[in-house]
Amino acid sequence: MTITAPAGPIGTEDPVHQPPPVPRPEGITRTRRRRRLGPGRKIRGAGLLGPLILLAAWTIGSATGALDPRVLSAPWTVFTTAGTLWDNGRLQENLLTSTERFAYGLVLGVVAGTVLALIAGLSRWGEALLDGPVQIKRSIPALALLPLLILWLGIDEEMKVITIALGVFVPVYIHLHNGLRGIDSRYAELAETVGLGHAGFVRKVVLPGALPGFLLGLRFAVTAAWLSLVVVEQINATSGIGYMMELARTYGQTDVIIVGLVLYGLLGLLSDGLVRLIQRRALSWRRTLGS
Amino acid sequence: MAPHTGLVNTGLIDTEPAVRVRDLDRRFGERSVLSGLNLTIGRGEFVALLGQSGSGKSTLLRALAGLDHDVTGEGGIEVPGKLSVVFQDARLLPWLRVLDNVVLGLRDARAHGTRALAEVGLAGREKAWPNELSGGEQQRVALARSLVREPELLLADEPFGALDALTRAKMHVLLRNLCEAHHPAVLLVTHDVDEAITLADRILVLHKGHVAVEQTVDADITPARRAEIRARLLTALDGDTA
Ligand SMILES: Nc1ncnc2c1ncn2[C@@H]1O[C@H](COP(=O)(O)OP(=O)(O)O)[C@@H](O)[C@H]1O
Ligand SMILES: [Mg+2]
């Protein structure tokens, strides 16, 4: 038999001249790579691609007049407005107020969620007492509590920070508690055989094992904090990005509203990136598809 | 093959044994897994435990290790305070580096741990994450973790069951050498008859809840004798003779 196809590596597709299935001679290596499963290799700067396309579409739309500036201001208008707001100091002032609210609420909520989850996750009594109420709270959106919180706390900073914290503590609690309870019982067995005491078991096994859950909860918490912030800042605020936007609405200044939106977006991205960085650092022992 | 140097073969057996089990019963609900089991292991003696899947080998080992909290049953168990367990999975904590896994639960033992890692052929890998090691290497870390505690009794539940044949053969040599250096009494659970003959001074077959067959292995075993022992154990494992 003659083979007319070029002597390619075994496994080369050639429907006509497919060689009969002979046992592969020694010394010939198989060169066709198997297709790699999983999402594949990482693309550099992948996170920026989508936003850049959106920005381009926006710019083109404004430049060609397809976008009415009363509906959506042009990017360059937004840019100059941001410059003006910066120059007269309003931008920094409002940004600072919002960031402060966000930070206080986040810290308060994370601390509360962590403490509650530790109590519920490490003791059966703690779980019996705490888990039920938290699960009930979980099914009520933090924002649905606003009327009550306003009645109790007024419309000042206190109410705003507490509302944010209430939105934050639930995901932290849920994911940390889940992580604490989900520790592999084989590790508990190991801890017994190497003679770790209860404290050692918690320190060396339970807490590090629950860290991935905690950090996942933290990511949800950051999102929840921004969400709550946006809402509470629309309510009778006298400062903050939300207030700035609300004011702009009454004067029909689309550009200022968009500056506010972009700021919220940037801050959200920034804080999420920060948590992801912490995640990567703290979980360097994990090899997952995403990294 | 390395000559066996277990104390049972050198005439020192009249000292206190390392392990003594009397009339051990273990039940799961209605089902009796161990009944009237008696077992003695001398100091430094290497005992292999064979038995069909589900015959109660792990149950016995867990009883010796004190890990059977919710299990019902009676019986007397005497084991040394210093005992270590090697599981089938290496069971390393993925968030601790190799050396920290080795010295888990010990104080000021890093120098010892480093030495133990060198002994199992993993010098220089102290800082690696367990995920970065192969299955055989992980199991060697688990061996180092056991050895660094200088146990008088080493309990191993199919420690090489998940390894490929070549790695397993290497681990056999390693385990023999380590046992000769450290002299723990060993109870090795395995389903591999050849592994048992290669490693052990004495082989037990667990059947119907107790030790049904007991077979000592000569220190300098001839191929013919090896085949004979092998055949006897295989028959016993089939359950025909018990
Ligand atoms: N925790 C448990 N609960 C109920 N049954 C169990 C439990 N552990 C083991 N068994 C039963 O006990 C028997 C012996 O198990 P095991 O000791 O693991 O066997 P082996 O290790 O010899 O394969 C099996 O039939 C198994 O199903
Ligand atoms: Mg078993």
Token pair of A98 as six digits: 């919002």
Domain extent for A146: 73-280
Closest CA to A134 of A176, A106, A105, A104: A176
Position A4 scores a pLDDT of: 44
Quickly state the pLDDT bin for B171 (edges 50, 70, 90).
confident
Nearest atom, ligand 1, residue B189 CA: 21
- C-alpha A33: how far from chain center: 35
Residue A124 forms part of a structural domain:
yes
CA of B52 to the centre of ligand 2 (A): 9
Query: Which residue did the predictor score with more confidence, A183 or A26?
Result: A183
ipTM: 0.83
Compare CB distances from B105 to A187, A200, A286 and report the shortest one's residue: A200
* Nearest chain A CA: its distance from B224 CA (Å): 37
Q: What is the pLDDT of residues A68-81, one digit of tens each?
A: 888 888 889 989 99
d(CA A159, CA B213): 76
Q: What is the CATH number of the domain that holds A250?
A: 1.10.3720.10
CA of B59 to the centre of ligand 1 (A): 6
Q: How far is CA B95 from CA A179, B42, B86, B100, B117, in A?
A: 14, 38, 19, 9, 18
What single letter denotes the amino acid at residue A113? G
- Average pLDDT of chain B to the nearest whole number: 84
Number of domains chain A contains: 1
d(CA B52, CA B88): 16
Average pLDDT over every residue of B183-200: 89
pLDDT of residue A28 exceeding 60, the answer is: no
Q: Residues in chain B, how many?
A: 242
Q: Cβ atoms within 10 A of the Cβ of A141, count?
A: 15
Cβ distance A285 to B131 less than 8 Å, yes or no, reads yes
Nearest atom, ligand 1, residue B62 CA: 17
Quickly state the pLDDT bin for A235 (edges 50, 70, 90).
confident
Fold of B1-82+192-242: Rossmann fold (3.40.50)
Q: Give the dihedral sign, CA B157/B159/B162/B165.
A: negative
Q: Residues in chain A, how many?
A: 291
pLDDT of residue B74 exceeding 80, the answer is: no
Pocket of ligand 1, beta carbon within 6 A: B 28, 33, 51, 53-59
Quickly state the pLDDT bin for B226 (edges 50, 70, 90).
confident
Domain boundaries, chain B: 1-82+192-242
Beta bridge partner(s), residue B31: B28
Closest CA to A62 of A128, A159, A70: A70
pLDDT of residue B79 exceeding 70, the answer is: yes
Position A142 scores a pLDDT of: 75
A113: CB partners within 8 A, 6+ apart: A168, A169, A170, A171, A172, A173, A176, A217, A221
Q: What is the pLDDT of residues A90-121, one digit of tens each?
A: 888 999 999 999 999 999 999 999 999 999 98
DSSP 8-state assignment for residue B30 = T
Token pair of A284 as six digits: 């360097």
pLDDT of residue A2 exceeding 50, the answer is: no
Closest CA to B71 of B108, B34, B20, B122: B34
Query: Which residue did the predictor score with more confidence, B2 or B39?
Result: B39
Element of type H or E holding A247: helix A241-251
Q: Cβ atoms within 10 A of the Cβ of B74, count?
A: 10
d(CA A217, CA A110): 9
Beta bridge partner(s), residue B205: B50, B213
Position A34 scores a pLDDT of: 77
Position B33 scores a pLDDT of: 85
Q: What is the pLDDT of residues B92-122, one digit of tens each?
A: 999 999 999 999 988 888 888 998 898 888 8
pLDDT of residue B2 exceeding 50, the answer is: no
Burial grade of A110 (CB within 10 A; 0-12, 13-18, 19 or more): buried
